[in-house]
Amino acid sequence: MSKTASLLVLDAHRSPLDILMTAAWVRRIHNPNHLIMPVAGYALYVPLMRSVIKYFQTKYNLELYPVYRQVESHPVNLLMHLLVAFYPSSLSTELRDQANRVYVERSLTDLREGNSVIVVSPYGSPILYGGKIKYGVRKMLELNPHTLITRSRFHPLKFSYLTYSQDYQASSPLLSQFTALN
């Protein structure tokens, strides 16, 4: 990767592990100085999820930042209720908002400075796929960095994940671009 280029990777993130597999693919293909990713805050408190994330963080040298979504404050389904139940009682709304700001500012700074890759799910999670593009992602796109869209999928015959990618087209709806990725 050139020393002045940064890359924004918008991953479809349709299942829990796919975005981590995209990060592994980015590390192998682009080998950036910094590979920055948000991680759902609850994943750092659920023991099995935390173990998987720590494994990927160590193996692929990921710089992870916890992020918290509005939907977690008022869970709408049983799964979300179970996941946020792991949060410590000391995790206030102010701390969540501060963590989100730290991630967005770090990402914006690295996109401006170069030689970094930001891997992000534009919708925030598999549950929110196809909804509104998150504020932080919109701010990153405003910088007009080189942007790829990706989708990693498990291929049962090869018993591995395959990552599909293409350049992002700002003039075309993002959801239709994800749908076009095989």
Tell me how far CA of residue 135 lies from CA of 35, 70, 73, 174, in angstroms. Answer: 20, 12, 17, 15
78-82, long-range: CB < 8 A, 24+ apart:
79/127, 80/127
Per-residue pLDDT tens digits for 56-108: 999 999 999 999 877 777 777 787 778 878 888 788 889 989 999 999 999 99
Q: Is residue 27 scored above 50 in pLDDT?
A: yes
Among the ranges given (10-19, 71-80, 113-122), the one the predictor scored with the smallest mean pLDDT: 71-80
- φ and ψ of 166, to 5 deg: -160, 165
